[in-house]
Amino acid sequence: MAGSEGAAPPPRGAAPRPVAQAEAALVRHYRRLVRLAYLALPADRDRHTRVLAAHTAVQRALPSRWTRPGRPAGPGDDPVYDALRHRVLRAALRPHPAHRLLAPRVWGLRLFTPHGSDEDAALDQALATLDAPARAAFALLAVEEQAPQHAVGVLRRAGVERPEEAVSAASGLPVGAESSAFDPCAVRVQPTDLLRRRRTLTAALAVAVLGLTTTAAVLGGSDGAPAVRPQAAPPADPATDPARLVRVAADQWQHTAQLGFPAWPARGDRRDDTALLGRALAAWARPGPQTRAEAGVDTAPPSAPPRLLFAGTVDGTAVVVLHDGQRLAQYTDGHGGGLDLARADDSDATTAGAVVLRRQGTAARYLLAPWVDTAETRRIDQPDAPARPLDHHDGVTAAAPAGTLTDCQGAAVLQLHSSPVIAEKHVFVLADVGGLVPAHLTYTPPPDRAQPAPAHEPHEATGPDALQAWARGGCAVPDGTPGVKQLDLWAFAVQPLPQNAGTAAWMCLRADRWNGDGIAATAVLLPTARGPQRTGGGPGRACSRLEQDTVGSTWWRSPQGTEFLLVAGSRRVARLTVKGPDWSADRPAPDHTLVVERPARAIVQVEAVLDNGARISPLH
């Protein structure tokens, strides 16, 4: 097939077969091919765009001329159909942006596949979590009813690098794609900006598009037979229909081992307000100037009905909180409102402990997880002061003082006590960093000097040592912006200072974001300093469980006026080396620290040798 990848050339003397045969095969199997393309297309498109793109992929599969097709991928396959399917799969797996310009244009109406059962919605949501090769594999298994080994061959010919993995990922899904919910040839229509257009233009466009829809239904009949189906009144798209919102049972969190946002029930005094919920879903379905997304968060509409977590009135303003499995969406109704989006996947009992509902000035109201029994607030700079109770009703707290951690003074954090149903006496701390989801604060204590032992795991930042460390070093956090999932303060070394001046506490503060990125910063707390002194930092996995070795250095002037270079490393540092402009120091470091007295400060190079011979340098 000319223009068809992988087509075998005709044997010498064979006459080209007419393209009419390929056209007949395309018309005969049109509905089957369009369903295949619809399932394989990227999940980041809304249903309307996917319907049009699926028809475009199939219609562009017709070649300009025909040569003998290659050997079918599976036994019993029609070689002509096999070649057409190959072209459709390649177009769906790697859609070209320019092809969108060639897609059919529909003005004034939106096209949707019919809404199906709850099982269909669950399958659609599961498909949205798969990549394009895995969705194409599912289509081959479910629509084409191919054996897994044959599906692997088809995907390999279509250019998939790891077809076995794609088929394996698709094999775990229930077969259910035969439903009309996945049939782009049985579309339903819904108006868009009806109120903004004149009636005459609306009527003309509706007639034109309905005519095209009927034609598509005729072409989509199985075995080439016309199949015109009467259409009932078009329902709302499932992803934007308030009646299709997922609502979790109020006690589900008590019966699941996977606590997180998916276990939150629907709460709020307006959770049955269909008009409000419709406006919230419409704002998510049509992102615009009032849509605000945290860095790196996709603004695409949900691919399936999201979960309703909250709908109620907060300080006189209607607020709706939704969750689609990957993102939180907070809709604020009325003038000056809009939609805020944040990453919220892979949450747990602590990272899904609260959501910011509304901010006013220096105060904020939170929606607490259903497993939170009691809530308190405390000043981060006053570790010895008792926490203050924070009232909450149906999960909504009273206004709580806020403030940023980087301020070093005045920042308030949430201290939450979970229900004994999930953990006995579990207390954790969350800090508002300006986004929808507060960051979880943890503390990793310094290593045990008495014996060599593995590094400590992060603890909840609730004990006296943790509170003292956060009070002194919290404002050195490397990233206190929206989108931070966890902030950990790791005390990796304690260094006695010369001239009996006390001790220096070395720490590494790490910020992990919901998208998997992270950044770390080393800092030192000196007896005479009012706050932490940053000594280095940068992006990467430093100071995480995947990279537990670090070293830092700083210049320090003693109370007597002597200049010292202080160097400290983590528990596996066995030797420390310093090179100055005309001097150097290279010494074993059994206590992982080094002090060098010099008459004046200078630019130096610091290197640490680990107990396995590896060398590391300070963060920059």
What is the value of pTM for the model shown? 0.64
The pLDDT score that the predictor gives to residue 77 is 62
- With cut-offs at 50, 70 and 90, classify the pLDDT of residue 263: very high
Q: What average pLDDT does range 358-377 have in this prediction?
A: 94
For residue 36 the two structure tokens come to 């295949």
Tell me which range, 99-113, 260-274, 326-340, 394-408, is most confidently predicted by mean pLDDT: 260-274
Q: What average pLDDT does range 85-98 have in this prediction?
A: 76
pLDDT in tens, 164-214: 988 888 887 766 556 666 777 877 665 654 433 444 344 444 434 434 343
Q: What average pLDDT does range 425-448 have in this prediction?
A: 92
pLDDT in tens, 42-70: 765 566 777 888 888 888 877 655 554 55
The pLDDT score that the predictor gives to residue 39 is 85
Distance CA 262, CA 104 (A): 38
pLDDT in tens, 303-322: 889 999 999 999 999 999 99
- Residue 453, Cβ density class (10 Å: 0-12 exposed, 13-18 middle, ≥19 buried): exposed
| pLDDT for 102 beyond 70 | no
Between residues 126 and 77, the one the model is more confident about? 126
The pLDDT score that the predictor gives to residue 272 is 95
Q: What dihedral angle (degrees, nearest 10) is formed by the CA atoms of 528, 534, 535, 540? A: 150
Distance CA 270, CA 440 (A): 29
Between residues 569 and 232, the one the model is more confident about? 569
Distance CA 430, CA 503 (A): 29
Between residues 191 and 99, the one the model is more confident about? 191
Distance CA 539, CA 541 (A): 7
Distance CA 409, CA 27 (A): 71
Give residue limits of the domains in the chain. 19-224, 250-402, 433-616
Residue 48 per-residue DSSP state: H
Long-range pairs, 442-446, Cβ under 8 A, ≥24: 442/486, 442/487, 442/488, 442/489, 443/469, 443/470, 443/488, 443/489, 443/490, 443/491, 444/488, 444/489, 444/490, 444/491, 445/491, 446/491, 446/492, 446/493, 446/494
Phi, psi of 443 (to 5 degrees): -140, 130
pLDDT in tens, 503-525: 999 999 999 999 889 999 999 99
The pLDDT score that the predictor gives to residue 269 is 96
Q: Which amino acid is at 18?
A: P
- With cut-offs at 50, 70 and 90, classify the pLDDT of residue 501: very high
Instruction: Map 331-343 to HEC letters.
Output: EECCCCCEEEEEE
